[in-house]
Amino acid sequence: MNINWDWSNTWLIGIVVNTVLILVAFALPKKLLTVMGYLNAWLLGVIVWGCLSWQGYVVVLFYFFVGSSITRVGMKRKEAEGIAENRGGIRGPENVWGSALIGTICCLGYLFLPSFWQPLMVLGYVASFATKLSDTCASEIGKAYGKRTFLITTFQPVARGTEGAVSLEGTMAGIVASVAIALVGYSLNLIDSMGIIISIVAAFVATNFESVLGATLQNDFDWLTNEVVNIINTLIGATFAIFCGYLFLLS
């Protein structure tokens, strides 16, 4: 992908668009983020627009709105069982960067790395959000509608919401989510048809690794918060995609 932009207006447009959207979000009665969450989302949005123009921005918006909506699915049931997201699903700055830090690094990589690496950085960007949306949908749909949940390491039945638990319903929702965001990236000319496949596979691999991490190590280390695990998860998805894309370019 080659993004045609110039320094004189792309970053300015990004600042204006994000400022307007944040002001609108502050004015709306229903909040999706905390105040600091919105301010950090503004910074994220400016960086994404400045590096990958409006095409990259659409990807992160798609993730944000779908992910926020999915979090609210079955909220009453999840709250009753004590497995709902904190703050009723309203996200803070830690959630913003837990989800988007790796994607942001890929954006900056596109801006500063040599041209050979640029399509790989864009692929990593799309794959990182495909991974995070897959993880979000798998977790939230599994907690809301999973009929049978199993610990991924032993396949022993466990309660919904258990760290490392997987369900058929959640797994299928995660795959659908990764397909959706990969198709968004393809429709915006960010990735090609091989990039769709790579992004979907990367998301599946990373999401399942995240479940293994949750089942084995997360409860043993205080620093392994959900946000840190999300960063690791998206790092694996982006790295896997970049590696596969690199091999494909060399073949």
pLDDT at position 87: 54
Give the whole-angstrom CA distance, residue 159 versus residue 131: 24
Cα–Cα distances (Å) from 185 to 45, 85, 127, in that order, read 17, 28, 9
Q: Is residue 47 part of a domain?
A: yes
Q: Are residues 127 and 246 in the same domain?
A: yes
Total Cβ atoms within 10 A of residue 182: 29
Long-range CB contacts for residues 207-213, cutoff 8 Å, separation at least 24? 207/131, 207/134, 207/135, 207/138, 207/174, 207/178, 207/233, 207/237, 208/152, 208/166, 209/233, 209/236, 210/135, 210/236, 211/152, 211/164, 211/165, 211/166, 212/152, 212/153, 212/164, 213/164
Q: Which residues contact 40 (CB under 8 A, 6 or more apart)?
A: 93, 96, 97
Per-residue pLDDT band at 85 (split at 50, 70, 90): low
pLDDT at position 239: 98
pLDDT at position 215: 87
Per-residue pLDDT band at 69 (split at 50, 70, 90): confident
Q: Is residue 95 part of a domain?
A: no
Q: Are residues 121 and 25 in the same domain?
A: no
Q: Are residues 202 and 251 in the same domain?
A: yes
pLDDT at position 79: 62
Q: Measuring CA to CA, which residue among 119, 137, 113, 123 is closest to residue 237? A: 123
Q: Are residues 49 and 157 in the same domain?
A: no
Longest dimension (CA), the chain: 58
Domain around 30: 7-56
Q: Which stretches within the chain are classed as H helix? A: 10-27, 35-71, 75-80, 93-112, 118-145, 168-187, 193-216, 226-250
What 3-state DSSP class applies to 165? strand
Q: Read off the amino acid at residue 81.
A: E
Q: Are residues 80 and 35 in the same domain?
A: no
Q: Is residue 96 part of a domain?
A: no
Q: Are residues 37 and 128 in the same domain?
A: no
CA angle 138, 31, 97 (to 5 degrees): 55
Q: Is the pLDDT of residue 72 over 80?
A: no
Q: Is residue 108 part of a domain?
A: no
Number of domains within the chain: 2
Q: Which two tokens stand for residue 157?
A: 């039945």
Q: Are residues 128 and 244 in the same domain?
A: yes
Q: Are residues 33 and 82 in the same domain?
A: no
Give the whole-angstrom CA distance, residue 31 versus residue 225: 24
Q: Are residues 26 and 82 in the same domain?
A: no
Tens-digit pLDDT profile for residues 4-59: 455 557 899 999 999 999 999 888 887 778 889 999 999 999 999 999 999 999 99
Give the whole-angstrom CA distance, residue 89 versus residue 34: 10
pLDDT at position 71: 83
pLDDT at position 31: 78
Cα–Cα distances (Å) from 34 to 14, 29, 39, 129, 225, in that order, read 21, 12, 9, 21, 19
Q: Are residues 51 and 77 in the same domain?
A: no
Tens-digit pLDDT profile for residues 97-124: 999 999 999 999 999 999 999 999 999 9
Between residues 136 and 90, the one the model is more confident about: 136
Per-residue pLDDT band at 224 (split at 50, 70, 90): confident
Q: Which residues contact 6 (CB under 8 A, 6 or more apart)?
A: none
Q: Are residues 23 and 78 in the same domain?
A: no
The answer, as to whether pTM is greater than 0.75, is: yes
Q: Is the pLDDT of residue 3 over 80?
A: no
Mean of pLDDT values over 225-245: 95
Q: Is residue 212 part of a domain?
A: yes
Q: What percent of the chain has pLDDT over 70?
A: 90
Tens-digit pLDDT profile for residues 123-168: 999 999 999 999 999 988 988 888 888 999 988 998 877 888 899 9
pLDDT at position 1: 52
Q: Is residue 140 part of a domain?
A: yes
pLDDT at position 184: 98
Q: Is residue 176 part of a domain?
A: yes
Q: Are residues 120 and 50 in the same domain?
A: no
